[in-house]
Structure 1
């Protein structure tokens, strides 16, 4: 078994909070999160029993965080800044001459009757 050494470095408090949150979400210790992050950065195997599961958990956690951030961004958008969709006239459903924008219908409309 390889001998392990202790290393230390100073990190921003924001990182510490993120590491602790991730550890809480994964029900593990912050030191294990840091260990696995360093192993991944160095291209090494973290030699944890469930490293593949952990990798998936990390990915899912990151995706959840990104979804939460996007949700906040969408909610904070001003209604005036949203692009307005074109309004469809109320009588479109009654209009038999209305052509839907579907490529196959448009192409068939231009074919001679014997080729339709």
Structure 2
């Protein structure tokens, strides 16, 4: 890769908002977002220190920390504060309540008239 040059183009305001949001989420500059997008489009390696993988690793670490905090909060809750659900009876008492899988009558409506 040779010397870097500066390029510019006009983009819709909606794109600018999306680029700024991505940059904020990844804690990087908007120019790096645009650089990486162009590199990806051209099939080139962006070679930036702030790669998408690094950003995802940071996000996963943050989510793990939040999950651990939530787990601690749930464990510290009073057992009496939990809602108790009623037990559901799942066994069948009588054979009279048994429902057959086959219908009592055979439906022919879906067949062509010559096959009815």
Shorter-chain TM-score range:
0.3 to 0.5
Could you say which structure has the larger radius of gyration?
2
Normalising by structure 2, what TM-score? 0.47
Structure with higher RCO (Cα < 8 A, 6+ apart):
1
Normalising by structure 1, what TM-score? 0.47
Greater fraction helix = 1
